[in-house]
Amino acid sequence: MKKLPILLILSLCSFTLFSQEKSTNTNDTLRKHAINVYMDDAPSYLKKEVPFINYVRDKNVADLIIIETMQETGSRGAELTFFIEGQFKYAGVMDTAKFYVYPGETKEQVRSRGVRVFKMALMKYIVETPLAEFINITFTEPISEEVSSDKWNNWVFSTNIHGSLNGQETSKSDLRLTFNRYERIALPLGLTADPDKTKITRKTIRK
């Protein structure tokens, strides 16, 4: 009767050690497959909030080289940009992610948005690694379940093109676009539709 507790304790200890070893092996495997990122003087808070990449100190071993810049705006704010350049299997890939800092924002607010934008910029690379299985993406803003309508729905386009040669080279083209939806929209060929108009005509004459 006294042997049972001892065997139970030994079994629990063995299971605990096995779980710890398995967890360590999994962590080592994930770290091995993490993307190597070179970022000059990456802040400590960024390393803490974005732990799923390897911050390397040598550009020559980096999969991604990321440069952060800041430019002041006219409204006394700033534009912060992450320039991303790929190497090795990402050679030739270049991305840009930016966000704006507005007057009156606290340091914590700026850091929080910076981390969020930084994470989003990395997702296209992380999705190709085993670490993607452990990434969760959330959307916090309420949104309707369906699209209300197609913005091109109920639009009617008609095109008339006329050309003639009579002694001299002469060509004339009329482009008419008719629509029944009253919204201002940019159209091809540099045309703009105004809400108070229902027809646009563009004529080109060459002689």
Q: Are residues 61 and 130 in the same domain?
A: yes
Q: Are residues 127 and 163 in the same domain?
A: no
pLDDT in tens, 20-32: 444 456 678 889 9
- The neighbour count for residue 13, using CB atoms within 10 Å, is 10
Give the rounded percent of residues in the chain with a pLDDT score beyond 90.
Answer: 49
Q: Are residues 117 and 160 in the same domain?
A: no
pLDDT at residue 78, as a whole number: 95
Residue range 20-47: mean pLDDT, rounded? 82
Q: What is the domain count for the chain?
A: 2
Whether residue 15 lies inside any domain: the answer is: no
Residue range 94-117: mean pLDDT, rounded? 95
The residue out of 101, 134, 167 marking a domain boundary is 134
Q: Are residues 89 and 166 in the same domain?
A: no
Does position 146 have pLDDT exceeding 60, yes or no? yes
Q: Are residues 39 and 104 in the same domain?
A: yes
Q: Are residues 130 and 199 in the same domain?
A: no
Q: Are residues 99 and 159 in the same domain?
A: no
Does position 118 have pLDDT exceeding 50, yes or no? yes
Whether residue 27 lies inside any domain: the answer is: no
Lowest-confidence region among 72-81, 141-150, 155-164:
155-164
Residue range 124-136: mean pLDDT, rounded? 94
Predicted confidence band at 34 (pLDDT cuts at 50, 70, 90)? very high
Q: Which 3 state secondary structure label does DSSP give 141?
A: coil
Question: Could you give the CA distance from residue 188 to residue 29 in angstroms, rounded to a whole number?
Answer: 52
Residue range 153-178: mean pLDDT, rounded? 49
Q: Are residues 174 and 130 in the same domain?
A: no
Whether residue 10 lies inside any domain: the answer is: no
Whether residue 144 lies inside any domain: the answer is: no
pLDDT at residue 168, as a whole number: 47
Does position 207 have pLDDT exceeding 50, yes or no? no
Residue 59 to residues 64, 66, 96, 157, 206: CA-CA distances in angstroms? 8, 10, 19, 54, 57
Residue range 192-200: mean pLDDT, rounded? 46
Range of the domain at 129: 33-134
Q: Are residues 167 and 126 in the same domain?
A: no
**Count of CA atoms in the C-beta half-sphere (13 A) of 201:** 6
Q: Are residues 130 and 162 in the same domain?
A: no
